[in-house]
Structure 1
Amino acid sequence: MTPLDTAHAAMLADPEDDAARLRYYRSLADAELFLLLSDEAEGTTVSPRVFPLEDGPVVLAFDTEERMVDFTGVAVPYAALPGRVIVAQLAGQGMGIGLNLGTPDSVWLMGSHAVDWLAAVLGQTPAETRGRPIAIHTPGALEPELAEALEVAVSGAGGLAAAAVLVRAAWQDGGQGLLLAWLGARSSAEPALARALAEALAFSGLDQAAVDMVFLPDTDPVARQILALGRSIPLPPPPAAPPEPQPPSAPGMNPDRPPRLK
């Protein structure tokens, strides 16, 4: 059972459960997928093999190399890519994705409308405003969906900030609500941390406005108040030191050089 299998089974167990369906698409975005190609990759350019179906053209992807080999039966060109990269490159092309064909308990046909929707969720940019809270309070009890979303939002933040703390805040305009405070975050990491929260909220079914976000130096007086009253969300440990240089990775696995799909 892969993580995508587990999410797939939960989704099919209750087709009316929107949360389970959203968790499946979150798992798909985070998974490494093996995408069938029509030709060998040329540098960072890959050409997916397109299969015409009654409901529209699709590309085929598998969440393990073994499943791909079992389906094709022969050696074929492929690229190992994060699901989010494949979705982003296919968005707006009227293209769907056939996932894990040949694996009855995991097969899923994702229509072009679902590809476009997922690309929009993954590509959203949080609204940015400038301001400081005028009062800080304890956050109170959290809904399970929100608690899970916050854990997901900070799951990739190891080494990027000193702390992540949730409080309830009041603002100068009279508004108030939950606030996730990143303390001592690297300035270069702020856009990625903001997108991570927006994405986690979207996949939990919650509105992006359910939680505001602020970045503060960990020496700021407000930061000290936040630490005293807030709920700290444990950050993962920093990633290990990079390994010795290896041969070039498969197309698309370098985030600084995403693939171009022809």
Structure 2
Amino acid sequence: MSATSPHRSVLPPEIRARKGTAPLVVLTAYTTPGARLVDPHCDIALVGDSVGMVLHGMPSTLGVTMEMMILHGRSVVKGLTRAMAVIDMPFGSYEESPQQAYRNAARLMAETGAPAVKLEGGAHMAETIAFLTRRGVPVMAHIGLTPQAVNTLGGYKVVGREGEADSVMEDARAVESAGAFAVVLEKVPMGLAARITQSLTIPTIGIGAGVQCDGQVLVVDDMLGLFTDFRPKFVKRYAELGRTADEAIAAYAAEVRGRQFPGEEHSFPDTLPAKGPK
């Protein structure tokens, strides 16, 4: 973005200041074209480690690497003029120690230009979040269902029922006290999510956590219906682009096999057309 551009990306203090005002709009983005699509409409473009499943065919997010997040993060930042990029820290890049987390967060920010990172975990990650924020790394926290811990949790299940509510509330308060500027609540019962939202001074961003959160996030490919066989309960389909694409590809294949495409209008003649009189 040039110095004379009228656009300026949103920054973490502005996101934090949005608490209790207009809801925050967040979607994932993984590429420059995808970033350009979400940029006019979103406050945050989340470069999620979901990229491993969405674009790379991985069975979970656990195989995503720093190099992958840097590649996709750099691509997304290039496509943004207004929305703020937040980049997920991949599994194994921050859990060992605050020092490890700082090295990798600093690398993500320096090599992509993104102004913030996101990491999973509640009270047990508070020390790391505090270490990062004291050193100039804005952190978005992520509690409730944390996909990187899916093997420990026993699946992608709702978190916060049957005696778990107090623990999730403690996680929310811990990441706030540690300095996170916002927190994602994933697959948390809506009543609990509402209580957490009311008790915190930082914005909550829900995914499967009810309408009372301070904002909402979805995987853009899910809400656009690019995957016809994946329909989690918390996703609303705003389009069925997967079906549209399937129909378009089928029409193309039929025209190629029937020698209907390319037509003359899509082809080049052997000779240039004669030039008319001047």
Give the helix-richer structure, 1 or 2.
Answer: 2
User: What's the TM-score, normalizing by structure 1?
Assistant: 0.26
Bigger radius of gyration among the two: 2
User: What's the TM-score, normalizing by structure 2?
Assistant: 0.25
Give the strand-richer structure, 1 or 2.
Answer: 1
